[in-house]
Homo-oligomer: A and B are copies of this chain.
Amino acid sequence: MEYPSKLIAQAVEEIAKLPGIGKKTALRLALHVLKQESDEVKNLSQSLVNLRENTQYCRHCHTIADADTCGICTSPKRDASVVCVVEDTRDVMAIENTGQYTGLYHVLGGVIMPIHGIGPGQLNIESLITRVNHAKPAIEEIILALPGTMEGDTTAFYITKKLEGLPLKVTSIARGVPVGSELEYTDEITLGRSIMNRQ
């Protein structure tokens, strides 16, 4: 598409780099930005730079935090003997929203994806092992809450191997038919597993 000005073309190109946003949506957003007050655009722009430059990660669990330790790790109400291993901070938020979990977290920052050049070394796996070895009080259970994909399973397998022989329990979140969904619409692998793992 031909853009009427270089500034529009540049903005569209940059906006369209965001995931799930194509050129048409980017153009719509760019034209929206043009109609906004100058201050509002500066707020948006500044909030993005601030986010990238000033966000800290908890030094224990690697979740996004405002300080070098997150609210969950410092809370006396949480059960420090259970650690739930997740892919990213969004998963922490999702689990927190359930209100069902009172333990701590460990954010890997991704899963093992050799195709994209992400090996165990790029993830926070070594720090999980260190954490398990030095935690006081001791960690008694590691819950693997990784995505149900091949990459998630590979990562879970790798971590399980790494933790072998240590005096703790390694569990995985249950896979099965989602609450409220019909059996006939559930894919056969999920359905098969949920029959095998009946309670």
Using CB atoms and an 8 Å cutoff, list the residues of chain A in contact with chain B.
1-8, 10-11, 13-15, 17-20, 25, 27-34, 36, 38, 40-56, 63-66, 70-71, 88-90, 92-93, 96-97
Contact = CB atoms under 8 A, between A and B. Distances in A.
A70 to B, nearest CB: 7
Contacts of A40: 17
Given A28-B19, A40-B17, A93-B4, A33 B51 contact: yes
A51 B8 contact: yes
A92 B4 contact: yes
B49 A41 contact: yes
Contact of A96 (B2, B31, B70): B2
Contact of A27 (B30, B63, B90): B90
Nearest to A92: B4
B28 A53 contact: no
A20 to B, nearest CB: 7
Given A27-B90, A28-B20, A32-B18, A65 B11 contact: no
A187 B65 CA distance: 53
B44 A17 contact: yes
B15 A44 contact: yes
A73 to B, nearest CB: 11
B55 A7 contact: yes
Contacts of A53: 38
A192 to B, nearest CB: 31
A88 B31 contact: yes
Contact of A48 (B6, B27, B33, B65): B33
A4 B113 CA distance: 26
A167 to B, nearest CB: 31
